[in-house]
């Protein structure tokens, strides 16, 4: 298992594709634009879900540092490709025919490019992670993934500075995971359980102490129990749909 990941899918929802922008971009209806973005994003989310399951099945609690590093590099390599595919697939999405539509398309394009660059940088660093000492590797991997979590937080709400409330609402309603979703304790209690339980093993139970007043950057602790063994998990809300965590061995 990878002990520190961004959820879901290293914030795939925060990608939300990229419009062409510029004078040559075709103009489309808001509905067509949202459909194109969601189709691209959801397709890559399924792809990353499948990879996560494959890695989880292959790695166990006794996996070596070398095996964990290989899995991390594999995941990040696929993630870089996924971001590029999203950008390519919606390169023809055009510009939504709304006020500030071109600014919105440009902002979304800049968002995916920034996130792709952050994942590429993380991949480069992952390839150089030391594996000689298990504790040193885990600490370095956790620090590396937290850096990606921070970078994701910085780019996950591309429309925050653009006055397009109807477009934001349409993206949220379509389930694209775009910035603007409400951050609630209830949401992350469910997210934490769904994402952390598979990492602990079959039959695991997780209880999280999530503050009622949640926000980006809120940290909380979860306790996982499986086969009578208790494990502490430190988690942080890194975005409206993203969660970073580390399993404390």
The answer to whether residue 196 scores a pLDDT higher than 70 is yes
Q: How many CB atoms lie within 10 A of CB 21?
A: 20
Please name which of 216, 198, 196 lies closest in space to residue 207, comparing C-alpha atoms.
196
Q: Which of 35-44, 128-137, 233-242 has the highest mean pLDDT?
A: 128-137
Rounded CA-CA distance 91/145 in Å is 29
The answer to whether residue 20 scores a pLDDT higher than 60 is no
pLDDT in tens, 81-139: 988 888 877 677 888 999 999 998 888 888 888 888 988 999 999 999 999 998 888 88
- Pair 20, 95: CB distance under 8 Å: yes
pLDDT tier at 11 (50, 70, 90 boundaries)? very low
Output the CA angle 174-4-215, nearest 5 degrees.
55
Rounded CA-CA distance 13/163 in Å is 20
Predicted confidence at residue 226, as pLDDT, reads 83
Domain spans, the chain:
6-173, 185-248
Half-sphere exposure of 3 (CA within 13 A, CB side): 27
User: Which of 34-38, 76-80, 101-105, 151-155 shows the lowest mean pLDDT across its residues?
Assistant: 151-155
Q: Which fold has domain 185-248?
A: Nuclear Transport Factor 2; Chain: A, (3.10.450)
Predicted confidence at residue 211, as pLDDT, reads 79
Predicted confidence at residue 125, as pLDDT, reads 94
- What's the token pair of residue 37? 């973005």
pLDDT in tens, 130-181: 999 988 888 888 888 888 877 776 666 677 778 888 888 888 777 665 544 4
Predicted confidence at residue 121, as pLDDT, reads 93
| pTM score, whole prediction | 0.62
Predicted confidence at residue 110, as pLDDT, reads 81
Across the chain, mean pLDDT equals 76
Rounded CA-CA distance 109/89 in Å is 12
């Amino acid at each position: 298992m990878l002990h520190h990941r961004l959820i879901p899918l290293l914030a795939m929802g925060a990608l939300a594709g990229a419009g062409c922008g510029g004078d040559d971009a075709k103009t489309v209806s808001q509905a067509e634009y949202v459909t194109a973005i969601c189709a691209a994003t959801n397709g890559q989310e399924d792809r990353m879900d499948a990879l996560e399951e494959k890695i989880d099945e292959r790695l166990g609690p006794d996996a070596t540092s070398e095996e964990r590093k290989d899995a991390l590099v594999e995941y990040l390599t696929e993630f870089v490709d996924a971001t590029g595919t999203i950008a390519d697939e919606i390169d023809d999405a055009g510009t939504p025919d709304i006020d500030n539509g071109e600014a919105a398309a440009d902002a979304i394009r800049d968002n995916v490019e920034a996130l792709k660059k952050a994942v590429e940088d993380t991949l480069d660093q992952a390839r150089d992670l030391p594996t000689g000492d298990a504790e040193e590797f885990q600490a370095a991997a956790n620090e590396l993934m937290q850096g990606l979590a921070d970078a994701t937080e910085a780019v996950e709400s591309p429309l925050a500075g653009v006055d397009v409330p109807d477009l934001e609402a349409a993206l949220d309603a379509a389930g694209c995971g775009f910035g603007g979703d409400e951050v609630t304790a209830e949401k992350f209690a469910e997210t934490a359980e769904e994402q952390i339980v598979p990492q602990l093993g079959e039959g695991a139970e997780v209880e999280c102490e999530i503050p009622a007043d949640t926000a980006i950057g809120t940290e909380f602790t979860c306790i996982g129990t499986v086969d009578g063994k208790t494990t502490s998990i430190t988690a942080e809300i890194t975005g409206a749909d993203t969660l970073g965590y580390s399993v404390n061995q």
